[in-house]
A = this chain, B = another copy of it.
Amino acid sequence: MADIAAELSGIVGAEYLLAGDAIGEDYAHDEALSSEPVKPAFVARPGNAQQVAQLLKAASELGVPVTARGSGSGMSGAARPRENGLLISFERMSAILEIDTENHVAVVQPGVSLEDLDAELAKHGLVYPVYPGELSASVGGNVGTNAGGMRAIKYGVTRNNVLGLEAALPTGELIRTGGKFVKTSTGYDLTQLIIGSEGTLALATEAILKVQPRMPHQGTVLAPFVDLDEVARAVPKVVSSGVGPLILEYIDGLTMGAITYRAQLQLGVPDEVREKSHAYLVVQLESRSADRLEEDVAEVGELLAGLGAMDVYVLDGSAANKLIDAREKAFWAAKEAGADDIIDTVIPRASLPQFMERVRAIAQENNTFVIGCGHAGDGNVHLAVLQKDHEVRDRVLHDLFEAGINLGGAISGEHGIGRKHTERFLALTDPAKVDLMRRIKTAFDPAGILNPGVLFD
C-alpha cells in the first residue's frame, strides 16, 4: 500500500493525494439512494490530463481499481469508489478553456460544473442546452452518464452535444476524438462510445461542447389532465404541431403535491381541478421573438384544451421558473418522503399508459408505493419507489425494468446502470450484447481497472 501511495503521489504531488483518514466522507458516495458509502484507499486530484493518463497507467500496472468522480451527483452509484481502490476526483480540472463564438463550441475541462459553464456562456449570449436537474453536476460526470434532463426533447442529451473529447486510456495514452465540427466519418466514433460508459472505458480530460444561441423568451403552459393516459395521448400531438417544445414534462398528482408543497408554490390551480387531476403536463417553449412566443403559447394552450386538458394555465416567468426548479428538485422531495430508490426507465413515449398500468400492478402486488414524474416527450419515466424491504424492493425494480424492456424500452434513460443496477442489467440484457460489450471493455481496458462492478461483475 505504501508503495502504491508513493507511486501515485509521485504523479500528482503529495498534497493532491489523500489516503486513509484524510479522505472526507463526501468521496464515499454519490446520490444513489439505499447505498452504503465506501471509502476508497486513495483519492487523487490530478491537475492535468497527463497526470490522469499516468495515474491510469500506474493503476493498470499495479492492478488498482479506479473510479472517476465529477461532482458525485449521480443516481446510480457509478461514482461510488472501491474500498481498495483509487478515486480520481476532477475537482482541480474545472477550467473553461475557450468559448469559441465562431465555431459555436466551448472547450472545457471535465470538472467544470454546468452552473459555472452556464454563467460564462450567458455572457456571450450562448447556452449549452443540456440541463439535467442538478447544475452542480460536472461535464465529465455528464459524459459518464450521458446526462439528459428536461430540455432533451428539443436539444437532445449529452451525446448529441459533445463534439469531441480528450481522453486518458487505461493503457496510459491520451487520445483526442472528434473536434470543433458537428460530423465526421473517419473511423469509429470513440466520442460516442466513451459517452455513457460510466467511467468504465476511458476518462475524459477535456470536452468540446456544441453551444447554441441563447433564446431570450420563454413561455410555460401547465395543463392538468384526468390521468396520465390523457397526457400520453396529448404528447405526440404537441410534437406533431411543429412548435418544437423546449420541455414536455409530466408530473403525477402526488408528486405535484409534494414538490409544490415543498417549494411553497401557488400555481393558481383551483381546488376542484386539483382534486380531479391525476397528471399534469408542463410545456415550455422558447423563441427569439416575444410575438412568436405569444402565438406559440396560445397555440399550445388551444391544442391541449382540445386534447382533454381540464384547464390550461399560462404561467408567468417567476411561477414557471419556480415550477421547473421544484420539478428539478423532485428527487429531494422523494428522498425526504422516504423514497428507497429512484429509477428512470425509458420506453417509447406512446407506451406510457401501458407501462404505468404495469407499474400500478407491480406496486400493488408488492405492497409498494410508487410515484413519479418524467420527461414525457422522451418516454423517460422517473419513479420513486418506497419499500424498505430489500428483497421486495429488488423484485419490484427487476419487474419494473422488465416491464419497460418488454415494451421496447431500456433500464435507464439518463441515470445509468452504475453499481446499483449492474446485476439486473446483466440478468435482463441479451447475453450476445453483454458479451460484445465485455469484449469492447477489454479492448479499452485490458487490465480491467476502470470502475469494476459497473456494467459487469
Contact = CB atoms under 8 A, between A and B. Distances in A.
A380 B444 CA distance: 30
Nearest to A147: B185
Contacts of A174: 432
Interface size class on chain A is 35 or more
Interface in A188-244: 188-190, 192-193, 195-198, 201, 213, 215, 236, 239-242
A103 B185 contact: no
B432 A187 contact: no
Interface in A142-191: 145-146, 148, 152-153, 156-157, 159-160, 169, 171, 173-177, 179-190
B239 A183 contact: no
A440 B292 CA distance: 49
A349 B181 contact: yes
Contacts of A183: 146, 148, 152, 156-157, 159, 346, 378, 380, 413-414
A410 interface: yes
A125 interface: yes
Contacts of A346: 179, 181, 183-184
Copies per assembly = 2
Binding site secondary structure of chain A: loop
Contact of A196 (B177, B182, B185, B430): B185
Contacts of A432: 169, 171, 173-175
A411 interface: yes
A370 interface: no
B213 A288 contact: no
Contacts of A442: 439, 443
A429 interface: yes
Interface of A: 100-105, 125, 145-146, 148, 152-153, 156-157, 159-160, 169, 171, 173-177, 179-190, 192-193, 195-198, 201, 213, 215, 236, 239-242, 288, 292, 346-350, 378-380, 408-417, 425, 429-430, 432-434, 436-437, 439-440, 442-444, 455
7 contacts: A157-B183, A159-B183, A185-B414, A186-B425, A187-B437, A213-B239, A440-B440
Given A103-B236, A152-B182, A443-B443, 12 more contacts: A102-B350, A159-B189, A181-B349, A183-B378, A183-B414, A185-B196, A186-B417, A187-B417, A187-B455, A189-B192, A190-B433, A213-B241
